[in-house]
């Protein structure tokens, strides 16, 4: 069983690891540094035909990622009504990995739980539709709210979107 970790925890762990790596690198490379107050000599830029010369100008690096959107984000229905949800993957920076989509839903204070694997979407990422038939409500319950989390995973990236379905008699 795969355990999902919160994105914030993953980001913090990555930052800690990168900071530790930068500090270690700085300490190890300090032996080749010039004495304090003395600048390091800069090598003269040389170029051979067809070789770019470093100019010091910043280089724009785009990360390959994706975003998702689900419509509608919220809906109110009666028992037995059908709602069509549409998930769209928005690739960014040339992202082109397959994206797996799952839905986890809870209602009635966690008494109702449901999980669905909606499959995998591949480039050019056509919209993925999912029809939900609103279940009948238990006796003495006039309204129930189903909170769902849509999770899209691809290329080592995880994106989530919240969806809410209100069922009223």
At 3, the pLDDT band (50, 70, 90 cuts) reads low
CA distance 162 to 169: 23
Distance CA 11, CA 16 (A): 9
Phi, psi of 93 (to 5 degrees): 65, 30
Domain architecture of the chain: domains with CATH = 65-168 (2.60.40.3880)
d(Cα 53, Cα 60) in Å, to the nearest integer? 17
For tokens 């979107």, the residue is: 161
pLDDT tens-digit map of 66-112? 999 999 999 999 999 999 999 999 999 999 999 999 999 999 888 88
Whole-number pLDDT of residue 118: 94
Question: Over the stretch 137-161, which tens digit does the pLDDT of each residue have?
Answer: 888 999 999 999 999 999 999 999 9
The pLDDT of 51-60, averaged and rounded, is 61
Dihedrals phi, psi of 92, to nearest 5 degrees: -130, 140
Characterize the bridge pairing of strands 112-121 and 99-107.
antiparallel
């Amino acid at each position: 069983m795969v355990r999902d970790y919160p994105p914030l925890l993953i980001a913090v762990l990555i930052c800690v690891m990168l900071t530790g790596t930068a500090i270690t690198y700085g300490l190890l490379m300090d032996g080749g540094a010039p004495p304090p107050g003395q600048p390091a000599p800069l090598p003269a830029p040389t170029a051979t035909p067809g070789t770019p010369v470093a100019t010091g100008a910043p280089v724009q690096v785009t990360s390959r990622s994706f975003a998702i959107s689900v419509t509608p984000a919220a809906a109110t229905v009666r028992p037995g009504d059908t709602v069509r949800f549409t998930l769209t993957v928005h690739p960014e920076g040339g992202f082109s990995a397959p994206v797996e989509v799952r839905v986890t839903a809870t209602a009635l204070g966690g008494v109702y739980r449901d999980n669905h694997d909606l499959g995998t979407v591949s480039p050019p990422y056509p919209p993925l539709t999912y029809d939900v038939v609103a279940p009948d409500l238990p006796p003495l319950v006039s309204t129930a709210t189903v909170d769902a989390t849509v999770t899209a995973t691809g290329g080592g990236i995880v994106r989530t979107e919240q969806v809410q379905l209100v069922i009223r008699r």
